[in-house]
Structure 1
């Protein structure tokens, strides 16, 4: 099932995408879904970020080849950092390049986990019980600021630096999905989630030992090798097998 958040002239709603239509649901997508009876052509709605999380927790260096392209070895334990909720944008929205502050902004295509209920200290064996589903993400990073600062908050925290979407797929098996990131149609990242150093259940366990996770919170699972610079005017697309494609264009920040 694909759960989307969308807007029309009448406002914002959640719905279930079925082929070329969206069946609206009442309230939020956590728990049992109640359909309103409204059904709209997908082409007539604007897809938004499928969820607005209270927090985005990201995992650094979770593919060995990416850890090495960054000049290090794969870490023994997950490396956690966060992105502010204000960085989240949806499909079709613009990534704002802060050219006054950064000379290099990179794409990082990733699989994102969406939490479905409040939880803490979740054993890996029960991680599936607290996951609503999966979506595509782009952990946009000002690489020069990451190196300059020695920590990652500013580099990864700009407004618009966390595109997610186009919807939440509730039935995907995340253990071995193809993931690509293309810029202007050129594939720059190409891997499979089976190459994750720390898999989804172990990440949920690890993160939830540190903090309480709330419905809608997002865990970004890490990016494979092939990260490279974006330029103003570029179109960047993250595609994950059995989920969909998240596309955003890069514009100059005002």
Structure 2
């Protein structure tokens, strides 16, 4: 299996490559097209990870796990229920989640599996869908929870989930990943909050890709966040959320303390 990352080097150069132990072998070209190694090896402590892809959109599912549906008293849907998160919301491993200046309320984490699309995808069948999946990654689908139902006339899913830095993706994209035997584990300041099997999904990755591709064209690098299960909770300013999936890695981000106009941290 291959793990792909994107990075920024100390000289502020952006690049991508393949992880091998504690190094990255740098590539050139297009990660989703023609890519070749250029023979440069960089140690991980010499680079900063960015999001492993730059999606044109993040498609985020709701109510896609039987355990959570049962807890919420919801029937399994007949089609994936989703919202769209903008590309400006995407950050990578180690980058801060920034509390919106306009919002003082609860911010929630959701540890999830992410599907990364590898080529233009429209109206594909379930049988064809795997050929359009480049690989899998970890996602923290962050939510300004108190905005969801702020207006009783309209649920504000896109606003609550679309703030800058509210789509944490990474640390890597793993190809040929056996999602059916994996679990998502979310830790808040090293305390386990979520630990659930991906086999409990209502719609499999292939079903998600097929059905969503019938609603919109998916492009290379787009991410489908597969939804979360039980254990969602809130993040305090300064806390670290880590979403890990064996075979992919651990995605960690800190909710950044708000800054006053003078630059001092509030707290």
What CA distance in whole angstroms lies between the structure 2 residues aligned with 1:151 and 1:10? 37
CA-based RMSD: 1.4
What CA distance in whole angstroms lies between the structure 2 residues aligned with 1:116 and 1:64? 28
What CA distance in whole angstroms lies between the structure 2 residues aligned with 1:239 and 1:133? 16
Structure 1 residues 102 and 75: CA distance shift in structure 2, 3 A: farther
Q: Hey, what does 2:25 align to over in structure 1?
A: 23
Q: Hey, what does 2:50 align to over in structure 1?
A: 48
Alpha-carbon displacement from aligned partner over 1:64-83 (angstroms, at most 9, x marks no partner):
23234456343232101111
Residues 133, 171 of structure 1: 8 Å contact kept: yes
Residues 98, 252 of structure 1: 8 Å contact kept: no
**Residue aligned with 1:26, SS:** strand
In the superposition, the TM-score normalised over structure 2's length comes to 0.91
Number of aligned pairs?
Answer: 254
Structure 1 residues 200 and 101: CA distance shift in structure 2, 3 A: same
Is 1:167 the equivalent of 2:172? yes
**Residue aligned with 2:206, SS:** helix
How far 1:96 sits from its partner (Å)? 1.1
What CA distance in whole angstroms lies between the structure 2 residues aligned with 1:32 and 1:136? 24
How far 1:151 sits from its partner (Å)? 3.3
In the superposition, the TM-score normalised over structure 1's length comes to 0.95
What CA distance in whole angstroms lies between the structure 2 residues aligned with 1:68 and 1:247? 29
Alpha-carbon displacement from aligned partner over 1:51-100 (angstroms, at most 9, x marks no partner):
11111111111112323445634323210111111000000010112364
Aligned positions of 1:1-254 closer than 5 A: 1-8=2-9, 9-70=11-72, 72-98=74-100, 100-149=102-151, 150-254=155-259
Unaligned residue ranges in structure 1 (runs of 5+)? none
**Residue aligned with 1:175, SS:** helix
Residues 102, 145 of structure 1: 8 Å contact kept: no
Unaligned residue ranges in structure 2 (runs of 5+)? 260-267
